[in-house]
């Protein structure tokens, strides 16, 4: 089975990774295995182990048996696939074909093979889970603050990984609590079956609760690693999906008001580094990626930044729909990060995004964004509005939106109109950050892609699929065939429909 509980490979520590140089991008894959007999002996080795696990979040995945999967580079490859399956991102042309099967809803329905989107995603998250379990099994129960910090991060990473798995391999939480979840491994153990959605969420909450306790009051060396604010941000995400509105609002507020964060200025928002530099004060968590660890063409920026020579520039430009673009008022800084209609060029057609760009053209040193406080403002606002607390909901909504557009006001919104306004601002603010399909699932709206000039369909790439009902089976990744073949606790009946 793909959990590989029987194998232990040598773990190359972060120090050796960071000291390496002059590697081709095919050789920059972070190490992802642990030698348990000596890795946990000191706090230095523990830190190296957890750092390597963080590095695996932007791991490049070559094809099994040779070759290259240039649309498989860790968490951001999953995020981009989710956005391409939503309503608001358009693919300009055929290009080199990467991600086009996600856009036309065929990638997730293929269970066969080890190089499908489903198998790559499954193995990505379960590898992180395996490594955190090895660490937790060997290094639990400590009163030392430094070791508690590493354990807290391990619990947080495991909860985050299970949240990614359950959202990709099952429908939303509410109303589906008793449906099949994903195998739960909280220790190095024998094969497991799928269990239930509720059981997976119970474990996620348990892990995040332990992480919050262990990390509370602890400092972190950099935003590459989780701290208590990030754990609270993940907890807010989980509560939002579970429709636990009070918890979602509370944890989002705690996360966004943590010391050291502030909304970026409009000048930074519209700069090349606003969404590619971990030094941005709005970023809560991300991956610092120097030039010698960048994965070049097999990277998020290759597929989304058409100002750089990569797959986006070679025909795979990612564009906002005219429908959503037109709903952003003139003067809102968020409108400026998309090519205005009538100003397009061959490499930057109308509506092409420039939100995500490498800081320096010609260099691939660009950081990956995993969480920022703007999302927390929106979670808090939505969760309050869903409780009928309109006046309270307008506070975080206006704090965020006035930063982007000083003339913004939510004064005239109330009830469902206010909720719809918050959801609209979420689509605008978080465009391209990986939430589109998950929001379709949790809001039960179904897929409704706008068509016509500037939207989905010709003359841009035809996505084929324009509508899908709520809870469509196409919203689910298929369980990898290798898992069904090799896991004795699973059968063909465990496959998603």
List, as one string, the DSSP characters of 217-283.
T---SSTTS--HHHHHHHHHHHHHHHT-HHHHHHHHHHHHTSTT--PPPHHHHTSTTTTT-TT-TTE
Give percent of the chain above pLDDT 90: 81
Percentage of residues in the chain having pLDDT higher than 70: 89
Residue 449's pLDDT is 98
pLDDT in tens, 107-123: 988 766 667 899 999 99
pLDDT in tens, 36-75: 545 566 888 888 889 999 999 998 876 665 567 899 999 9
Cα–Cα dist 12/273, whole Å: 30
Indicate the domain borders of the chain: 14-266+371-494
The average confidence (pLDDT) of the chain is: 90
Stretch 238-260: mean pLDDT, rounded? 98
Average pLDDT over residues 225-238: 98
CATH code linked to domain 14-266+371-494 = 1.25.40.390
pLDDT for position 60: 86
- Rounded to an integer, the average pLDDT of 240-258 is 98
- Identify the residue with better confidence: 358 or 49: 358
pLDDT score, position 443: 98
Sequence-ordered alpha helix ranges (H) in 311-389: 322-325, 373-386
Strands 467-468 and 447-448: antiparallel
369 has pLDDT over 50: yes
Q: Which residues pair with 90 in a beta bridge?
A: 319
Q: What is the pLDDT of residues 458-488, one digit of tens each?
A: 999 999 999 999 999 999 999 998 899 999 9
pLDDT bracket for residue 1 (50, 70, 90) = very low
What local confidence, expressed as pLDDT, does residue 5 receive? 30
**pLDDT computed for residue 154 by the predictor:** 96
The confidence score (pLDDT) of residue 138 equals 81
Strand 283-287 versus strand 368-372 pairing type = antiparallel
Single out the residue of 130, 114, 23 nearest to residue 72, CA to CA: 114
Average pLDDT over residues 149-165: 97
**Residue 79 pLDDT greater than 60, yes or no:** yes
User: Buried (b) or exposed (e) across 293-310, using 16+ Cβ within 10 A?
Assistant: bbbbbbbbbbbbbbbbeb
Q: What is the mean pLDDT of residues 212-227?
A: 96
Over 60: is that where the pLDDT of 22 sits?
Answer: no
pLDDT score recorded for residue 106: 94
Q: What is the pLDDT of residue 4?
A: 35
DSSP state, residue 174 = T
Confidence check: pLDDT of 415 > 50: yes
Kindly report, residue by residue over 165-180, the tens digit of the pLDDT: 999 999 999 999 999 9
In 85-170, where does DSSP find H-type helix? 100-103, 117-139, 145-169
Average pLDDT in the 398-425 region?
Answer: 98
Question: Are 199 and 178 spatial neighbours (Cβ–Cβ below 8 Å)?
Answer: no
């Amino acid at each position: 089975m793909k959990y590989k509980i029987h194998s232990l490979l040598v773990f190359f520590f972060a120090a050796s990774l960071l000291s390496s140089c002059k590697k081709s991008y095919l050789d920059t894959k972070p190490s992802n295995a642990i030698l348990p007999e000596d890795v946990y002996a000191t706090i230095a080795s523990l830190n190296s182990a957890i750092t390597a696990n963080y590095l695996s979040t932007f791991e490049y995945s070559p094809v099994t048996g040779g070759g290259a999967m240039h649309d498989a580079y860790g968490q951001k490859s999953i995020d981009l696939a989710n956005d391409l399956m939503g309503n608001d991102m358009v693919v300009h042309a055929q290009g080199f074909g990467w991600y086009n099967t996600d856009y036309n809803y065929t990638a997730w329905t293929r269970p066969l093979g080890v190089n499908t989107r489903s198998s790559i995603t499954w193995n990505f998250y379960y590898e992180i889970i395996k490594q955190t379990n090895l660490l937790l099994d060997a290094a639990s129960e400590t009163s030392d603050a430094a070791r508690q910090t590493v354990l807290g991060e391990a619990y947080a990473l495991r909860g985050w990984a299970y949240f990614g798995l359950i959202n990709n391999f099952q429908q939303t939480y509410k109303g589906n609590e008793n449906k099949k979840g994903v195998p739960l491994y909280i220790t190095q153990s024998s094969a497991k079956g799928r269990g239930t959605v509720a059981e997976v969420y119970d474990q996620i909450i348990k892990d995040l609760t332990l992480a919050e306790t262990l990390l509370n009051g602890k400092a972190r060396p950099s935003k590459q690693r989780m701290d208590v604010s990030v754990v609270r941000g993940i907890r807010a995400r989980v509560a939002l999906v579970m429709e636990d509105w009070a918890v979602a609002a509370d944890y989002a507020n705690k996360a966004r008001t943590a010391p050291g964060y502030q909304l970026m200025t409009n000048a930074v928002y519209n700069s090349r580094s606003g969404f590619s530099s971990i030094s941005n004060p709005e970023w809560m968590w991300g991956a610092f990626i120097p030039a010698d660890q960048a994965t070049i063409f097999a990277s998020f920026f290759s597929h989304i930044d058409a100002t750089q020579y990569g797959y986006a520039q070679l025909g795979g430009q990612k564009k906002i729909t005219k429908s959503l673009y037109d709903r952003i008022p003139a003067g809102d800084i968020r409108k400026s990060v998309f090519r205005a209609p009538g100003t397009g060029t061959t490499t930057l057609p109308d509506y092409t995004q420039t939100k995500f760009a490498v800081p320096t053209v010609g260099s691939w040193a660009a950081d990956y964004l995993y969480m920022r406080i703007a999302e927390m403002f929106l979670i808090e606002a939505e969760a309050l509005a869903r409780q009928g607390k309109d006046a309270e909901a307008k506070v975080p909504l206006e704090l965020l939106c006035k930063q982007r557009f000083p003339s913004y006001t939510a004064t005239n919104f109330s009830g469902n109109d206010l909720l719809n306004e918050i959801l609209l601002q979420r689509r605008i603010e978080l465009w391209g950050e990986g939430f589109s399909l998950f929001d379709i699932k949790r809001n039960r709206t179904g897929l409704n892609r706008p068509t016509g000039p500037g939207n989905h369909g010709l003359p841009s790439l035809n996505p084929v699929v324009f509508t899908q009902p709520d809870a469509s089976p196409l919203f689910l990744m298929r369980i990898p065939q290798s898992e069904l073949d090799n896991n004795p606790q699973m059968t063909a009946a465990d496959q998603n429909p």
